[in-house]
Amino acid sequence: MKTKRPVLGHICSAVGFVLLALLLLLGAGALLRPPQETYGSTWRAYRAEPRNSIDVLYLGSSCAYCDIDPVEIYRHSGLTGYVMGGSEQTMSLTYWYLRQCLETQTPQAVVFEATGVFFQRYQSFTQPNIAYMPFTLNRLGAICTAAEPELRPGLLLDLWFYHGRWKELSPPLLGPSDYKGYTPVEGTAEEIRPDPTPRHLSQEQYQENLSWLLRSLELCRERGILAVVAVNPTYYRCDPEQYRRLGEDLSHAAPDVVFLNWSAAFADLGLEPEVHLYDKAHLNREGAAVFAKGLSDFLTGALDLVPMEQTAPNRTAWDALLTQRSAS
């Protein structure tokens, strides 16, 4: 017995040293990581939102964070919201984002922007989409299921990617964001036309993407959250048959979920493509403001959502954003 205690003590000391070293490395990586306040993956700002204060959560690709402006939706409906999007966010990433989002918020509804259903397993922005997630089991899940194998070591230890940024450090950004996950883009596209092009996606990959979406929808169902799957107005369209099939698959597998194919609904929503498209795929700032009215009408009309009660400081903060927008 006397010989076992020193051995046990050495083991505990070694484990403690390893854990301390790991915490220091994780902290250094977080410190060196560039701030991310626009173009998706805005986890710092999301986590700064008051707990359980978001009425509607929006998830998806750049078509979510460029097209959906929660502040303008609040103007028309009183509903608070946040866009937790990511560039080329795949459906597997959407699932892990949803799980992480629900750690601090209990929204009445989640709107899933559906472009990711037609993505490949790995897209071009895996690193920023995962690197800004809090280091939780959900991030580990995203690394294991949504990241290319060669990126996984760096996503487990941020210092792998950012060790050369010591001279670029800037003060940390604090508090909620004025944009609530939305990224405004300015200007209009020239000489654009609708481009209904079939996405070259294998049957196996489509089924895998659909299964991840269904997992997200089931999680919403378990939490008593309304779920909407939407295709935003765009000139960068899939073949109509692909949208039809998605709607049919959802009606069979998740009949309680609303599917909105707004890909060609410009006129119905008051949008003019030549004025309101930034490029084929995304609305510009003015277009997002117009789209907010149609989305607000759907949320308060078809879904019958009513703004939750907010604390006085948070309601004042949202109202101040409207005043700020009106003055600019």
Q: What are the pLDDT digits (tens) for 232-262?
A: 999 988 888 999 999 999 999 999 999 999 9
The structure's pTM equals 0.86
Q: How far is the C-alpha of 36 from the C-alpha of 256, rounded, in Å? A: 35
Q: What percent of the chain has pLDDT over 90?
A: 70
Inform me whether the pLDDT recorded for 328 exceeds 70. Answer: yes
Asked whether the predicted pLDDT for residue 166 surpasses 70, the reply is no
Residue with tokens 């397993």, as numbered in its chain: 121
Measured CA to CA, the distance from residue 95 to residue 213 in angstroms comes to 7
Instruction: Give all domains of the chain, ordered by start, each with its CATH number.
Output: 33-327 (3.40.50.1110)
Query: In this predicted structure, what is the pLDDT of residue 34?
Result: 60
- Mean pLDDT is lowest, of 40-49, 158-167, 230-239, for 158-167
Q: Which of 93, 44, 35 is nearest to 64 (CA)?
A: 93
Residues 6+ apart with CB under 8 A from 68: 58, 81, 83, 111, 113, 182, 232, 288, 291, 292, 295
Task: Confirm if 238 and 199 have CB atoms less than 8 A apart.
Answer: yes
Q: What pLDDT score does 287 carry?
A: 98
- Starting at the edge strand found earlier in the chain, the sheet holding 56-60 runs 81-85, 56-60, 109-113, 226-231, 258-261
Q: What is the pLDDT of residues 63-93, one digit of tens each?
A: 999 999 999 999 999 999 999 999 999 999 9
Quote the CA–CA distance of 240 and 242 in Å, as a whole number. Answer: 5
Cα–Cα nearest to 202, from 193, 210, 194: 210
Give the residue-averaged pLDDT of 292-312.
98
User: To 5 degrees, how large is the angle CA 216–CA 47–CA 106?
Assistant: 45
Unique residue bearing structure tokens 């051995």: 7
pLDDT at 289 over 50: yes
